[in-house]
Amino acid sequence: MMIGDLGDHFAWLPVLARWHYDQWGPLTGAGSFDGYVALLSEAAASSTVPSVLVAAADGELLGSANLVASDLPLRPEMTPWLAQLFVKPSRRRDGVGAALVRAVLQRARQCGYGRVYLYTSGTLPQYYSRLGWRFVERLEYLQRERTVMDYDVELSSAPNHGMQPTASGRG
């Protein structure tokens, strides 16, 4: 499995935009699919914040994760955020998500950040806890309870996954 910037694999943008917009709709920060394509295109041109990292194997797009300056309007002081972690359903439980999370943490460290935030809901806080994320708070956002979590990048030993093969494909 390889992880790299969407800007280096721009042909995947339409598929990725569709996956994200179908999954999160208004949570993407765009009012329409075309608006989201424009936002994702802008982020794909960056290798700092925002960043869009993609995972692939054998020429197949497996998933992505974003590093964004702000993902939760209720907490503008918190930055940056891991956002929109998405793994193709047929590749879930293969370690793709964990590898993408590590790559985002590495990108944040390279950009000089010591801490990264995320928010999630449902059973996903347990997933992130297993990856070393800590509970910060629960709050209501868009009529749903969300869990805010953080990760101290300075304390992690996340390896650099900038388009390097992973050892096992499991995260």
Length reported for the chain: 171
pLDDT level of residue 142 (50, 70, 90 thresholds): confident
pTM recorded for the entire structure? 0.85
Which tens digit of pLDDT belongs to each residue from 76-116? 999 999 999 999 999 999 999 999 999 999 999 999 999 99
CB 54 within 8 A of CB 9: yes
What domains lie within the chain, and their CATH numbers?
2-155 (3.40.630.30)
Average pLDDT, the chain: 88
pLDDT at 171 over 70: no
